[in-house]
Amino acid sequence: MSGVDFSDPAVIASLAAALEAAGVDGIDIEQGTHKVRIVVERGGPGGVSQVDASQPAPATAEACFVAAPIAGFFCSGHPASVVPPFQLPREVVSGDTLAFVRIGPVLLPVRAPKTGVLTRFVAENGSLVGYGDPLFAIEPSP
């Protein structure tokens, strides 16, 4: 398996799709110092990859837009969550999981790159987004 880039979410998505098609529940892959675990949740919205989806955002004093780390369907909340969607604006802390990009059985978390106030979603829930498309805006705390 040498040469496979497991930091690429598209690779993870491809593997997850293959696992689900084969009826396999999950897989652990070790390559050098890297380890990837993919778990397929039956009857649920799918496994969550180990890839860190947070992206560097433009460093401005104003709102920063958080971009999609990969092409997929935008989910403003976890599809299986029973908690009602949070109200905006909302205080967020760097590292908080704020949304997901869904690729078939894979839900890729999108984390807050900085502490601030989540003021609005730019992408519509359920819409197809491309790599680098703006998903939501975080403004500095007042």
Partner 1 sequence: MTDIRKTSAERKSGFDTVLIANRGEIALRILRACKDLGLKTIMVCSQADRQASYGALADTSLCIGPASAGKSYLNKDAVLLAARLTGAGAVHPGYGFLSENAAFSEAVEEAGMVFIGPTAQSIANMGDKIAAKSAMIAAGVPCVPGPDSELPDDHASVEAIASKVGYPVIVKAAGGGGGVACAWFPTPASCMNRSRSPVKRLGRPSESQRFTWKSSSSTRAISKSRYSATCMETRSGSATSDCSMQRRHQKVIEEAPAPGIAPDIIGPVAQACVKACLQIGYRGVGTFEFLYEDGGFYFIEMNTRLQVEHPVTEMTSGIDIVQAQIKAAQGIPLDVDQNDIKENGHSFECRINAEDPRRSSRLPARLRR
Residues that bind partner 1 (CB under 8 A): 8, 10-11, 13-14, 17-18, 20-21, 70-73, 103-105, 126, 128, 130-133
Q: Which is nearer to partner 1, 126 or 140 (CB)?
A: 126
Identify the H or E element spanning 13: helix 9-22
The least distance separating partner 1 from the CB of residue 91, rounded to whole angstroms, comes to 30
Are 102 and 77 in contact, with CB atoms under 8 Å apart? no
The least distance separating partner 1 from the CB of residue 61, rounded to whole angstroms, comes to 24
Q: Which is nearer to partner 1, 105 or 109 (CB)?
A: 105
The least distance separating partner 1 from the CB of residue 68, rounded to whole angstroms, comes to 9
Beta sheet of 72-75, edge-to-edge order? 106-111, 97-103, 72-75, 128-129
Distance CA 64, CA 16 (A): 31
